[in-house]
Amino acid sequence: MSHWLEAALQDGLRAVDSNELIERAARHQLLVDIYRDERAARRVSPSLIAEECRLKRIKRYRRHQPRPGWNWGAAKGGRPSAGSALHFARGYFGEGLIVAALSAVCQTYQTPDGLQQGSGAHQFDILGVSPWAVFECEAVGASFLAYPDMIILTQDGGPELIQIKTPSVFAFDRYRRDGGASIRKRYGPQTAAEMYIGRRLGMPFERNHVLCFTWEGFTPGSDEARAGKEIRAIVETVAWEDGMDRFVESIAEEILEDDAAAERGAWPIAYPLGTRWPCDYCNYARTSDSDNPGCEENEKWEPRLLRSMAATPDGSSAPPRPMTSPSPLPPSASPVSPAPTPPAGSSALPPPLPS
């Protein structure tokens, strides 16, 4: 085991028998943020900071549903998606399973019902888990909101974060092959944003551990199993660095600029037709069909804007020119790599997991 969290996870999965593990994971699924509806409707979340398509980012910020008037979580191209449903379920159940396993071997863990005892086999405490642990703050004119998967206190005495990811076994093996940089490239912006929001709240986060695991263990007799490693898990720790705060704030400012421009009817342009990533994985349809408007037809989601344009004092009805390219435009000096942008036509990357 190369990281203490990998050992803790494997020990936790051994410490609780399967029925109880499933029950604990299921209990985790039932946790809710009881104040969710009272929070700011337009908020900058870590996953929004990591969003690759600038048009999709502002549509999400403005709460566009996959199709106007139709709200559905597991959607692709404006339609229900069985594949997305599986990916979401894999992510949410995976998170519950890991929380259940780690809480079995920590020292103490906090729940909405009070402080509970773990076995103490590993020297850390769990201070809170998503979704009842919430980070919320105002900064640079934006409302930030994050649901950190796990907030822990380590032996060092400092609070740290764990971000749980359950990629497909194919993506996982690619991360193993390509090393920690590939995990940072994929999840770096999100981890930085989580730490940023927590630090704004006065919690001095210095580390965010990206814990990736898959549902497929190593086969008995494999080199890994013979070395004592039964589960496919990797942890990549992202440390806080100078400049991360500015990186997060600059993207939040850009979102606010895009929001103000959208109010005037000017939206970021979409990726070219035929772009496979990320468009094939997007919850919006790239082009219109009999059921769906294309992602650029924003007036179908917000007819109010069309009406307000028609009512401009100069009587102009021409839509403003589109703004800029849809790339996420991280600052060039950013210490955090943006999410990967494979060339058009590539289908190698998996869809983002729920966060």
Which spans of this chain sit near ligand SF4 (rule: CB under 6 A)?
Answer: 53, 55-56, 270-271, 278-279, 282, 284, 286, 295, 326
Q: Least distance from C-beta 116 to ligand SF4, angstroms? A: 42
In terms of CB distance, is 160 or 258 closer to ligand SF4?
258
In terms of CB distance, is 28 or 59 closer to ligand SF4?
59
Q: Which backbone phi and psi does 172 adopt, to 5 degrees?
A: -60, -45
| Tokens linked to 59 | 């549509």
The residues near 56 (Cβ < 8 Å, ≥ 6 apart) are: 278, 282, 284, 295
Q: Are 170 and 214 in contact (CB under 8 A)?
A: no
Q: Least distance from C-beta 258 to ligand SF4, angstroms? A: 13
Q: Least distance from C-beta 27 to ligand SF4, angstroms? A: 35
Q: Least distance from C-beta 336 to ligand SF4, angstroms? A: 21
In terms of CB distance, is 77 or 91 closer to ligand SF4?
77
* Burial letters 304-322, b for 16+ CB under 10 A, else e: ebeeebeeeeeeeeeeeee
Q: Least distance from C-beta 275 to ligand SF4, angstroms? A: 6
In terms of CB distance, is 241 or 280 closer to ligand SF4?
280
In terms of CB distance, is 53 or 244 closer to ligand SF4?
53
Q: Are 12 and 104 in contact (CB under 8 A)?
A: yes
- The answer to whether the peptide bond before residue 131 is cis (omega within 30 degrees of 0) is yes
Q: Least distance from C-beta 70 to ligand SF4, angstroms? A: 16
Integer-rounded Cα radius of gyration of the chain: 21
| Tokens linked to 322 | 């589109």
The residues near 75 (Cβ < 8 Å, ≥ 6 apart) are: 66, 67, 81, 84, 283
CB atoms within 10 A of CB 81: 20
Q: Least distance from C-beta 46 to ligand SF4, angstroms? A: 18
Side-chain-side CA neighbours of residue 224 (13 Å): 13
In terms of CB distance, is 64 or 229 closer to ligand SF4?
64
Q: Are 169 and 232 in contact (CB under 8 A)?
A: yes
In terms of CB distance, is 208 or 275 closer to ligand SF4?
275
Distance of CA 210 to CAs 45, 120, 233, Å? 17, 22, 10
Q: Which amino acid is at 190?
A: Q
In terms of CB distance, is 159 or 278 closer to ligand SF4?
278
Q: Is 342 helix (H, G, I), strand (E, B) or coil?
A: coil
